[in-house]
């Protein structure tokens, strides 16, 4: 099962990952963007990664859930990180606006 403990938290481009112990979740931030992306493997359901955005005004938007039920931990890491990379690129291009 992919979890916070075995997820690859290395940078994805300029996006940096941080662990928030009080919430048990992972967040991703970009130095030029006023939003935070929450994406925590198995946060609610095993082998699913819910993705939400929190904007600077405090509002949240649920975006997607990446499902990774099959494969090795490395394959699951790769799938979620590739999916996040595509999302981050979309955000950088301004396709998702609050």
Residue 3 lies in a domain: no
The count of domains in the chain is 1
pLDDT in tens, 26-54: 999 999 899 999 999 999 999 999 999 99
What is the domain extent for residue 63? Answer: 16-92
Q: What is the pTM of this model?
A: 0.92
Residue 11 lies in a domain: no
pLDDT in tens, 50-90: 999 999 999 999 999 999 999 999 999 999 999 999 999 99
Is 2's pLDDT higher than 90?
yes
| Structure confidence at residue 45 (pLDDT) | 96
Residue 59 lies in a domain: yes
Is residue 26 within 8 Å of residue 7, measured between CB atoms? yes
Sheet hosting strand 60-67, strand order edge to edge: 16-20, 25-29, 35-39, 48-55, 60-67
Signed CA dihedral, 92, 40, 73, 5: sign only: positive
Residue 5 lies in a domain: no
Residue 33 lies in a domain: yes
Residue 63 lies in a domain: yes
Residue 97 lies in a domain: no
Residue 10 lies in a domain: no
């Amino acid at each position: 099962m992919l979890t916070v403990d075995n997820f690859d938290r290395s940078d994805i481009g300029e996006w940096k990952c941080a662990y928030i112990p009080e919430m048990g979740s992972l967040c991703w931030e970009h130095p030029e963007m006023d939003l935070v992306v929450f994406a925590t493997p198995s946060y609610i359901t095993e082998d699913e990664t819910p993705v939400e955005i929190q904007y600077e005004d405090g509002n949240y938007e649920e975006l997607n859930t990446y499902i990774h039920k099959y494969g090795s931990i490395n394959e699951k890491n790769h799938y979620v990180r590739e999916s996040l990379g595509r999302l981050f690129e979309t955000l950088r291009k301004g396709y998702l606006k609050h």
